[in-house]
Structure 1
């Protein structure tokens, strides 16, 4: 499921930036970048400076992005939650596109209501002996209070645009933005708390074992103030490294105006 979600995330990112999806099959995504995204991701400033100065049309990069572990040895970028390419895309989203407002495209000749959804994409980081990141997307209907997980997957077949179509009109939200964020935060906390956290137990056991080894080493050494300071420093380092922590931060989000049966 994690691989499928990651692949969908990449597909949605490049599609939203008008890149040409050449192929997307079995965890391998091939995409032809636009000039804007090439400049953002490929680190070719001298090439684009020359091309723009000469008034020529540049040749943009084609990326082969692999999220299927069975195909990680194929030619291309192996993408996982710690990979440099994914982190680069996430940083780009944080810097350039943290908040947006989009409208569902609805080619209608009659009046059509669009309802507000608060959509937030969040990165959860599990830190301990083993580190892991997870990206989830939550959507809250600001009229009915409905909430969906994997919201971006649900929007996969919905055409979104920055301007509203003719004959469409928006419904004002009943749930205020601050209250909406609190609801999303509560759902996020429940989601984390309801998971099994064997990784946290393993981290705590490793921490306990490491502290025992450190104390044994220094106890068998000469007992002086310098040794005690060194021991405490190492123990503090181990606590920082192995104490399990779960943190999360918003990657991006926005208000999406959608039909009642999108």
Structure 2
């Protein structure tokens, strides 16, 4: 999964998880375990699959829960700083547009006010801190065990 920490600055992290659908066992940094394995797209002969003890939905919920718990422990000082930069930038834009709107003729006030609102939206999009997580890759692997 890719976790993106974004504001006017950006940082990304990649997190890799494995969940056994048979046992529910959970492993972090799963990609590191897969790198050295030789895999084929077919099951070996005489291998029988056990019934899943865990659904894909429950496995995903376990991954999301683990990632959320991990992210709660992070330092979010960067978000406070980004919010402060956002407020400073909005104040500068207000300092420019508000007198411009007040001194404008009636027929151009609406256009200037609309431009001001668009500019504030752009600034919020650029500076507002946000954390997003997205799946970048997934698969089902039949392994002897992930423990």
Deviations 1:45-93 (A, max 9, x none): xxxxxxxxxxxxxxxxxxxxxxxxxxxxxxxxxxxxxxxxxxxxxxxxx
Q: Secondary structure at the match of 1:247?
A: strand
Structure 2: which 5+ runs fail to align? none
Deviations 1:204-230 (A, max 9, x none): 111010011111222343504344333
Report the equivalent of 2:28: 149
The structure, 1 or 2, with the larger RCO (C-alpha pairs under 8 Å, 6+ apart) is: 2
Report the equivalent of 2:130: 245
Distance 1:180 1:153, change over 3 A: same
Whose strand fraction is larger, Structure 1's or Structure 2's? 1
Report the equivalent of 1:177: 56
Output the TM-score relative to the length of structure 1: 0.49
Whose helix fraction is larger, Structure 1's or Structure 2's? 2
Q: Secondary structure at the match of 1:144?
A: coil
Report the equivalent of 1:189: 68
Deviations 1:170-216 (A, max 9, x none): 22210011111122122222222221122212211110100111112
Contact 2:20 2:146 in 1 (8 A): no
Contact 1:140 1:146 in 2 (8 A): yes
What aligned pairs does 1:13-52 form with structure 2 within 5 A after superposition?
Answer: none
Paired residues, what number? 141
What aligned pairs does 1:119-134 form with structure 2 within 5 A after superposition?
Answer: 122-134=1-13
1:235 to 120, 128, 135: 120
RMSD (Å), alpha carbons: 2.0
Q: Secondary structure at the match of 2:120?
A: helix
Contact 1:129 1:202 in 2 (8 A): no
Q: What is the alpha-carbon distance in structure 2 between the residues aligned to residue 200 and residue 210 of structure 1?
A: 15
Q: What is the alpha-carbon distance in structure 1 between the residues aligned to residue 86 and residue 31 of structure 2?
A: 38
Report the equivalent of 1:57: none
Contact 2:27 2:146 in 1 (8 A): no
Output the TM-score relative to the length of structure 2: 0.83
Deviations 1:220-246 (A, max 9, x none): 435043443332221111011111112
Structure 1: which 5+ runs fail to align? 1-121
